[in-house]
């Protein structure tokens, strides 16, 4: 090539290279405001490990993507994508954290189209200002500690992917724009029926609402959405039958409706698995599915009666006709008495409402007591509707094989041993379905008869309620020397791993999750569990070890009583002496319902009062002198100004309670913790008043929201 032609070509090539480098450099350089927002975000999130190495020389747009961090930038120097993920084991952020500040900072990244903040310990409500992030197309805030209600996502018209799974949001369903394609709300606090508008989301491809508390029927049109591919409604309380004429969309390839309360047959389009469609439907009451993995139909419609301790000396008579006549006459008399009792309750309720619904009357002598409603064994025989509801949806009781439990507990290796003492050994285990359980190993007494053992197992299988650490099943194992003689019993309990109620009141990472409404709800759960124990059999299980350390909270903050009493069997006909248990353990522990029922009941109410006092003040009641001082201080505050009561309560719940709701709870606690057992209310009275506290609180919260919006 001649020299005269070479020089212009060289100059053109150099100009092109410099232009490209200049464009590339400018296109990837973040603006100062965007960099400042990222550093502020790191501070608000309390320096999570993926962001710990950032400094002023960090080129955010050039950072290599990793499983825990990814940043995307536009050609104009704006962040368009941000993904930050923790390791899954991070606890909630400190008490200084503010979700409002977090989303104020995020809204400054005004070109953000994709945001993922996963497993970072973020807690608090999702603020309404999230709608300012109008350019978002994908939002993932899963596996955090968000609580409260959902914000309005309808203004976010571009949002097509929303994942809020593994939080504590609810109970109402969020409002959504029609553009949504992926919706994941699994493991939250959703309640009530599935909203009809879901069937109108014609862009929806994935819907995961598993592990909530949804009830009612499944909208049939949900299956026929034209773009739906993935549908997971498992582990709820969905009821009813699916129409056999139901049709499915052509793109549907995964359906999970297992662990609900569905009955009847299955539509042909989801009846069987195929190469194009996977269907999971176990543990319902479906007639068209494999019956080995279904509950009996009565499970999905059951109304359990209280179990009665059997009389070991009772003999079956031959006068069946006389028994039939007496049964009919007794039924007629019982019906008349029941109608009269209902009428009496109705008149009492009307009178109470006319008096301003003041259920906690203050006597003239200054004591603050609730009238104690006496309960007869006949009243206890049939559980109330509220108690029945608490037993619905519990994992079915079953008999385990020793091989299953050995596999679950790693051969009962010492590494799985949780505790060992006078009450037997406790092992942590994992079943084949992935659920975690606690296995209690108990030695049988040598002289215990097989009939007594089976009788006992039948009784404890009734101890299953939403607010108890429920028994899931048992296994009877024979001795090595004699295969026909049982020597060991394994009781399998559900495993609750989210800590105790006291942990949530004292640990600063968890304390902020329990505001006043959540605290009252937890105590209501304890009261419902206690009501169940008092009515599940005659006589009831009373004198339970009802300490706040024995109240566990699951991932949805549902309270569950652990270490409650197990029943004993009467040896003789009068059921007053010589009670026995079939296990070779220390019998002064958590066994024994044959003590004086009323005394044990009053002791349980007293312990419930101590729990409520700690929930209100945030402090353990301490010794008797300290308890008396707290009761006197609270009692005085009821007659002083509301500000005095506000000073005594736990600072964490200030500004989160309605005064009348708190006042009612204080009155209940004072009465329950009374020294005089005759002044302590019945469990039914306690529960009624606690639920009234929630009604007051809900009304106050609604009025607060209305005033804020106006």
Residue 163 backbone phi and psi in degrees, to 5? -125, 110
Strands 161-163 and 182-184 come out as parallel
In this prediction, residues 497-501 reach a mean pLDDT of: 87
Check pLDDT > 50 for residue 273. Answer: yes
Check pLDDT > 50 for residue 314. Answer: no
Which has more pLDDT, 62 or 341? 62
- The size of the chain, in residues, is 710
What pLDDT is attached to residue 629?
85
* 3-class DSSP assignment, residue 196: helix
* Listed ranges 36-40, 139-143, 546-550; the one with the highest mean pLDDT: 139-143
Check pLDDT > 60 for residue 476. Answer: yes
Residue 291 DSSP one-character state: G
Q: How confident is the model at residue 336 (pLDDT cuts 50, 70, 90)?
A: low
pLDDT tens-digit map of 659-686? 889 889 999 999 998 888 888 998 889 9
Residue 349 tokens read as: 């309720």
| Class of residue 252 by CB neighbours under 10 A (exposed 0-12, middle 13-18, buried 19+) | buried
Distances in Å between the Cα of 584 and the Cα atoms of 141, 422, 445, 458 are 51, 9, 5, 19
In this prediction, residues 419-437 reach a mean pLDDT of: 83
Nearest to 141 by CA among 94, 174, 108: 174
652 near 512, Cβ under 8 Å? yes
Q: Report pTM.
A: 0.50
Check pLDDT > 60 for residue 25. Answer: no
Place of tokens 């906690």: 360
Check pLDDT > 80 for residue 318. Answer: no
The rounded percent of the chain whose pLDDT value lies above 90 is 24
What pLDDT is attached to residue 580?
59
* pLDDT, mean over the chain: 78
Strands 168-169 and 145-148 come out as parallel
What pLDDT is attached to residue 193?
92
pLDDT tens-digit map of 348-381? 544 444 343 333 433 323 344 433 334 444 344 3
Distances in Å between the Cα of 354 and the Cα atoms of 165, 198, 475 are 46, 43, 55
**Helices marked H in 277-371 — which ranges?**
320-354
Nearest to 45 by CA among 138, 112, 115: 115
What pLDDT is attached to residue 577?
39
Which has more pLDDT, 91 or 67? 67
What pLDDT is attached to residue 82?
93
Count the alpha carbons within 13 Å of 459 in the hemisphere toward its beta carbon: 28
- How far apart are alpha carbons 366 and 63 in whole angstroms? 70
What pLDDT is attached to residue 313?
45
What pLDDT is attached to residue 113?
93
Residues 197-224 as b or e (16 or more Cβ within 10 Å = b): ebbebeebbbbbbbbbbbbeebbeebbb
Residue 493 tokens read as: 């309990």
pLDDT tens-digit map of 149-188? 999 999 999 999 999 999 999 899 999 988 999 999 999 9
Q: How confident is the model at residue 36 (pLDDT cuts 50, 70, 90)?
A: confident
Tell me how crowded residue 316 is: count the other CB atoms within 10 A of its CB. 5
Q: Which residues pair with 426 in a beta bridge?
A: 419, 440
What pLDDT is attached to residue 218?
93
Q: How confident is the model at residue 141 (pLDDT cuts 50, 70, 90)?
A: very high
In this prediction, residues 448-462 reach a mean pLDDT of: 79
Check pLDDT > 70 for residue 405. Answer: yes
Residue 414 backbone phi and psi in degrees, to 5? -60, -25
What pLDDT is attached to residue 353?
40
Nearest to 494 by CA among 429, 568, 549: 429
Q: Which of 136-140, 393-397, 611-615 bottoms out in mean pLDDT, i.e. has the lowest?
A: 393-397
Most distant pair of Cα atoms in the chain: their distance: 128
Instruction: List, in order of start, the domains of the chain with CATH numbers.
Output: 27-158 (3.80.10.10), 190-301 (3.80.10.10), 378-709 (1.10.510.10)
368 near 530, Cβ under 8 Å? no
In this prediction, residues 446-464 reach a mean pLDDT of: 79
């Amino acid at each position: 090539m001649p020299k005269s032609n070479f020089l212009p070509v060289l100059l053109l090539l150099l100009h092109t290279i410099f232009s490209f480098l200049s464009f590339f450099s400018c296109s990837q350089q973040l603006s100062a405001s965007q960099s400042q927002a990222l550093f502020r975000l790191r501070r608000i999130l309390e320096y999570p490990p993926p962001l710990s190495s950032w400094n002023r020389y960090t080129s955010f747009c050039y950072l290599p993507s990793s499983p825990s961090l990814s940043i995307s930038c536009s050609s104009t120097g704006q962040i368009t994508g941000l993904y930050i993920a923790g390791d899954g084991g991070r606890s909630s952020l400190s008490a200084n954290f503010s979700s409002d500040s977090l989303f104020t900072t995020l809204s400054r990244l005004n070109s953000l189209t994709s945001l993922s903040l996963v497993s970072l310990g973020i807690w608090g409500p999702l603020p309404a200002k999230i709608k300012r992030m109008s350019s978002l197309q994908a939002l993932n805030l899963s596996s955090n500690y968000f609580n409260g209600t959902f914000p309005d996502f309808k203004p976010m018209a571009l949002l097509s992917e929303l994942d809020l799974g593994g939080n504590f949001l609810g109970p109402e369903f969020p409002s959504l724009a029609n553009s949504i394609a992926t919706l994941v709300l699994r493991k939250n606090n959703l309640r009530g029926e599935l909203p009809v508008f879901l069937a109108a989301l014609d862009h929806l491809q994935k819907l995961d609402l598993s592990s909530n508390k949804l009830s009612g029927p499944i909208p049939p049109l949900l299956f026929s959405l034209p773009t739906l591919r993935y549908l997971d409604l498992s582990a709820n309380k969905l009821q009813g039958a699916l129409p056999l004429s139901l049709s499915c969309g052509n793109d549907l390839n995964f359906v999970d409706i297992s662990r609900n309360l569905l009955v009847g047959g299955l539509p042909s389009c989801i009846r069987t698995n195929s190469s194009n469609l996977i269907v999971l439907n176990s543990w319902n009451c479906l007639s068209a599915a494999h019956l080995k993995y279904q509950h009996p139909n009565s499970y999905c419609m059951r109304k359990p009666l209280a179990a009665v301790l059997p009389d070991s000396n009772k003999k079956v008579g031959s006068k069946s006709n006389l028994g039939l006549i007496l049964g009919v006459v007794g039924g007629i008399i019982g019906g008349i008495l029941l109608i009269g009792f209902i009428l009496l309750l109705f008149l009492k309720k009307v009178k109470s409402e006319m008096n301003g619904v003041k259920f906690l009357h203050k006597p003239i002598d200054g004591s603050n007591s609730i009238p104690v409603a006496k309960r007869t064994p006949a009243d206890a025989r049939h559980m109330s509707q509220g108690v029945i509801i608490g037993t619905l949806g519990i994992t079915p009781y079953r008999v385990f094989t020793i091989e299953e439990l050995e596999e679950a507990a790693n051969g009962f290796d010492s590494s799985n041993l949780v505790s060992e003492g006078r009450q037997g050994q406790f092992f942590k285990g994992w079943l084949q379905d992935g659920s975690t359980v606690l296995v209690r190993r108990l030695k049988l007494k040598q002289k215990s008869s097989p009939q007594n053992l089976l009788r006992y197992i039948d009784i404890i299988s009734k101890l299953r309620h939403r607010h108890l650490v429920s028994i899931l099943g048992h296994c009877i194992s024979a001795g090595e020397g004699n295969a026909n003689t049982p020597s060991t019993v394994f009781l399998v309990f559900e495993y609750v791993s989210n800590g105790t109620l006291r942990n949530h009141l004292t640990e600063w990472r968890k304390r902020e999750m329990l505001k006043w409404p959540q605290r009252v709800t937890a105590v209501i759960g304890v009261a419902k569990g206690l009501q169940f124990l008092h009515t599940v059999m005659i006589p009831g299980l009373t004198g339970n070890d009802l300490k706040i350390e024995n109240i566990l909270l699951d991932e949805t903050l549902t309270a569950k009583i652990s270490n409650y009493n197990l029943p004993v069997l009467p040896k003789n006909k009068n059921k007053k002496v010589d009670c026995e248990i079939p296990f070779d353990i220390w019998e002064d522990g958590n066994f024994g319902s044959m003590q004086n029922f009323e005394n044990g009941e009053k002791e349980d109410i007293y312990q419930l009062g101590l729990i409520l006092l700690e929930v209100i003040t945030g402090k353990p009641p301490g010794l008797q002198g300290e308890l008396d001082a707290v009761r006197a201080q609270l009692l005085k505050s009821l007659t002083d100004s509301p500000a005095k009561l506000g000073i005594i309560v736990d600072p964490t719940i200030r500004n989160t309670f309605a005064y009348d709701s708190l006042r009612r709870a204080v009155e209940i606690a004072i009465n329950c913790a009374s020294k005089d057992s005759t002044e302590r209310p019945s469990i039914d009275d306690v529960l009624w008043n606690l639920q009234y506290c929630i009604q007051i609180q809900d009304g106050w919260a609604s009025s607060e929201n209305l005033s804020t919006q106006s």
